[in-house]
Structure 1
Amino acid sequence: MIDLNDWPIMARLILVMGAFIIGLPGPLILAFLVLGKDYDVARSGIRSNPFIESMKQVRREKSFKGRWMFICMLAGLVTFPKFALRRGMLDPDELKRFPSRLKIKLAVAAWLTLLGCVWIVVAYVLILLSEAR
């Protein structure tokens, strides 16, 4: 079995801190997008998705929290569009017209956040397995 107590201290620190080093830039990128000029471009970029349109209507998006939730949903939609495209909830031409720089920023933020979360789960499981011994 895996015993983390046998690992060097630097390896244990990398295991624990790596998740935060990889995962935190994702939400920071999204926060800069929410607070910057790119938010208005992102908001007007997708109009064919009914859920995104309803979120624009329901949330007035004056608060940081509302804007944050919207940009996170949009990052997921732009990064992983296959489900929405298959169900006809997103126009493929609209996705192609979405600004490529913004699409890259959203995708990088989504992937960094996802990788950080997976890393935390793996580190947690390794710690649990080493304590079980």
Structure 2
Amino acid sequence: MNGFWSSWWAFAFMLAPFVIAMSGVAMNTYMACTRDFDRIIASLPNTSRLTQRIPFWGATDFKTRWYLLAGIAGVMIYPKLCVRLGVVDAEDLRNFPPRLRRRLLMTAWLVNIGCIWLAIGVALIKLSPTR
């Protein structure tokens, strides 16, 4: 096993989660900078927690738009829980555009898979014998 960690395969194995996670971050960045952001916000008119945050945070700067999209992507991963907790309106989720839902889910899952892969890789390195 120790021979593996000193090979190019190990380098590729540990580089892959960064590539996967950063592609999710890049997709979220793209959506925050395009008209997709306005479409997503317009698709959630009855979501009180979201509409309360927009005037407070201001949806004009990049950082706020990015965080807001990341939060909405999290809502798309666990929609039933978020409806039960009152984070989002069930009718808004039913009427949400499927294309944007897929893109939000893809960004969230790419980041999650990259982070989980990295954690597994670090655990494997820590558990491998030193000799």
Could you say whether these structures have the same fold, taking a TM-score greater than 0.5 normalized by the shorter chain as the test? Answer: yes
Post-superposition Cα deviations, 1:64-84, rounded to whole Å, max 9, x if no partner, equal: 111111111111112221211
1:106-117 paired onto structure 2 within 5 Å: 106-117=104-115
Count of matched residue positions in the alignment of Structure 1 and Structure 2: 130
**1:76 correspondence with 2:67:** no
Per the normalisation by structure 1, the TM-score is 0.87
Per the normalisation by structure 2, the TM-score is 0.88
Residue 131 (structure 1) shift: 5.7
Q: Which residue of structure 1 aligns with residue 49 of structure 2?
A: 51
For 2:111 and 2:79, how far apart are their aligned partners in 1?
17
1:1-133 paired onto structure 2 within 5 Å: 3=1, 5-7=2-4, 9-130=7-128
C-alpha contact (below 8 Å) 1:76/1:110 kept by paired residues = yes
C-alpha contact (below 8 Å) 1:48/1:89 kept by paired residues = no
For 1:32 and 1:118, how far apart are their aligned partners in 2?
23
Residue 96 (structure 1) shift: 1.3
Residue 27 (structure 1) shift: 0.6
- Counterpart code for 2:77: T
C-alpha contact (below 8 Å) 1:30/1:109 kept by paired residues = yes
Q: CA RMSD in A?
A: 1.8
Task: Tell me whether 70-79 or 107-116 shows the greater mean CA deviation.
Answer: 70-79
Post-superposition Cα deviations, 1:37-75, rounded to whole Å, max 9, x if no partner, equal: 101011121133332222212111221111111111111
For 2:117 and 2:87, how far apart are their aligned partners in 1?
31
C-alpha contact (below 8 Å) 1:84/1:90 kept by paired residues = yes
C-alpha contact (below 8 Å) 2:47/2:92 kept by paired residues = no
- Counterpart code for 2:105: A
- Counterpart code for 1:72: A
